[in-house]
Structure 1
Amino acid sequence: MSPPLIRLPSLDLVRGFVAVGRRMSITLAAQDLCLTQSAVSRQILALEEALGLKLLVRGHRSIAFTPEGERLFRSADSAVQQLQDVVGALTGRTGRRMVTLTSTIGVTGLWLMPRLGAFLQRHPDIEVRVSANSRSMELQAEGIDLAIRYGAREAMPAGAERLFGEEIVPVAHPSLGLAALSAPQSVQAQVLLEFDGPYRPWLQWSHWLERQGCKALHPRGVLRFNQYDQLIHAAVAGQGIALGRRALIAPMLADGRLVALGAPQTAPVEYWLIQAEANPATEVREFIDWIRAEAQAVGC
């Protein structure tokens, strides 16, 4: 049974929570709302107190949803977006067209964002909203036009369009002085940067080492990351060697921030574009054409 209106939290608190959830950052949410970080933090704490629930888990320079927080965000984000759309229509602020896209944090940070500026320069009248997360979503129900997803063909819905494949290659910053991982000793002397997210053997060092005949090898150290973009940033900072997803790190290989330490190996997954509607709006079709062109340039 729904609670009465008097018991619903203030819209200001909900708006602050949605802003944080969209960015997964209190700092960026504060910028969006033209508030201080402490003000946004107080809004989140006040909402948690009003509901009697923990909504966010705060880590060192990171935040994550609790199960209750994610459930609330999915509903509140959709409701706030609908409210934004209606207010825009009522006040005549309809000059900018919008495309909403969701993708994983790694794909968003490493592949989409470095390229997005070029699209916005060519289409200044189109506003792009990006939701970076890996959760399963009903695109139409949540007001999302497009999704970029990562997986095997059989796991994708009907109508999914292949963008490019997945190739894995060991990489490191040039400062480590490595040209190849040709001998067990060259790995044993290094720190391995390990992806500690969902189990994907092709992204695990144990799998790669076993294929190289180095199953019992013990590296100098291991750093683990639950977000793939953080792992790559650590590699660029010279903190160790990583298993690079070539499609995502191609610009870093091209400009020398990372060097490949071996031949790439093909993984049993690919990247896919999923549309919410078979006949999308003009701005969405323009964005799709741009994504297709960028994907073709990947060459995987």
Structure 2
Amino acid sequence: MIDWLHMPSLAALRAFEAAAREGSFTRAAAALNVTHAAIAQHVRGLEAELGRTLVVRDGRGIAATEDGKVLAEALTQGFETIGAGIARLRADDAARPLTISVTPAFATNWLMPRVGDFWARHPEIQINISPAIELTDLRRDGIDVAVRYGRGPWPPYDAKLLTDGEFWIVARPDLLDGLQAECVEDVAGLPWLVDRNLREWKALLSEVRVDIDDLKVTSLNLNGLVLSALKEGLGVSLQARTLVERDVREGSLQRICVLRQEGLGYHVLTDPQRPSARTKTFVRWIMDQVRTDRRDEPAKREKGAWRRP
């Protein structure tokens, strides 16, 4: 069993191993990206702690003493074993699918229509899309990236705001039946479809002086059900722009007006304790997709697919 209380610092052992291997404090410093003085200080401190001379001058460089060679050989073997173990873990991590946790509505209405682009760009990364309403422990459940709706913050995770706080009131065009609706009041008499986030609905509608209690409301448990009912023409709904902009572009839904609430929207969450190149690649891709949608907006409006708010 290792007596960690009497073990020299890892920094000192790394510095000495590099110095003995390179035969130079200068080259060891370059290998570890530290200063020459830091290497020298660590080696001298290690010699003092062990009561042994570990290196001596050798021309312009250094050479390990017999005691130094014994320690250097043991350290090199130990660090190589550690490196091999880490490499195996990384290889195992690269072999498993990248798991993405998203709400069902976001998966169906935003991610799935676009994920083919990610597969085409990164065929080496296999992904597993896991729909879920509640945010669970990313580390415990093996989740690499989560996308969740709300305001944040989201400790202990790193969070990036994916979509802005823009919300659209939408309906199927035939439900409006020629009604020139441009504000909430114009559709207040129609059926409304809401999900369980009534508090957010109330806050958004209060910005335009509308009380949700005055509307004819059908409440559904999941927003995915609301979106399905919306596309069947069963009512009007207030939705995050992200979830309905494609349907509005294609003409299956009509945008009536726009409401805004800064900071409220979809966020991309990752665990800072589990960084990986694959995770960064997916996060960069999903952020780029949103930016591309925004850049394409003017051209889409010129084609007449967008109604004025």
TM-score (normalised: structure 1): 0.58
* 2:242 is the alignment partner of 1:247: yes
Q: CA deviation at 1:298?
A: 4.6
Q: How does 1:81-230 map to 2 (within 5 A)?
A: 98-176=97-175, 177=177, 178-182=179-183, 184=185, 186-188=187-189, 190-195=190-195, 197-201=196-200, 203-204=201-202, 208=205, 210-215=206-211, 218-219=214-215, 221-230=216-225
Q: 1:51 — aligned with what? A: none
Whole-angstrom CA distance in 1 between matches of 2:212 and 2:238:
18
Superposed CA RMSD: 3.1
Structure 1: stretches of 5+ with no match in the other structure: 1-88
Whole-angstrom CA distance in 1 between matches of 2:249 and 2:265:
22
Distance 1:103 1:156, change over 3 A: farther
Query: Which structure has the larger Rg?
Result: 2
Contact 1:184-1:217 at 8 Å conserved across structures: no
Q: CA deviation at 1:296?
A: 2.2
Distance 1:94 1:262, change over 3 A: closer
Contact 1:191-1:239 at 8 Å conserved across structures: yes
Total equivalences in the alignment: 203
Distance 1:128 1:267, change over 3 A: same
Whole-angstrom CA distance in 1 between matches of 2:171 and 2:278:
39
* 2:251 is the alignment partner of 1:265: no
Contact 1:153-1:270 at 8 Å conserved across structures: no
Identity over aligned pairs, percent: 25
Distance 1:279 1:207, change over 3 A: closer
Q: 1:289 — aligned with what? A: 284
TM-score (normalised: structure 2): 0.57
Whole-angstrom CA distance in 2 between matches of 1:222 and 1:292:
34
Distance 1:216 1:283, change over 3 A: closer
1:187 is aligned with what amino acid?
A
Q: CA deviation at 1:211?
A: 4.3
Partner secondary structure for residue 258 of structure 2: coil
Whole-angstrom CA distance in 2 between matches of 1:253 and 1:232:
13
Structure 2: stretches of 5+ with no match in the other structure: 1-87, 296-309
2:150 is aligned with what amino acid?
G
Partner secondary structure for residue 119 of structure 1: helix
Whole-angstrom CA distance in 2 between matches of 1:207 and 1:163:
19
Q: CA deviation at 1:299?
A: 3.9
Contact 1:145-1:275 at 8 Å conserved across structures: yes
Post-superposition CA distance 1:43-72 (Å, at most 9, x none): xxxxxxxxxxxxxxxxxxxxxxxxxxxxxx
Partner secondary structure for residue 126 of structure 1: coil
Whole-angstrom CA distance in 2 between matches of 1:185 and 1:148:
34
Whole-angstrom CA distance in 2 between matches of 1:171 and 1:137:
31
Post-superposition CA distance 1:167-223 (Å, at most 9, x none): 1221011112344254746421x111122x24432x35x962x5444549855x432
Contact 2:168-2:255 at 8 Å conserved across structures: yes
Q: CA deviation at 1:276?
A: 2.5
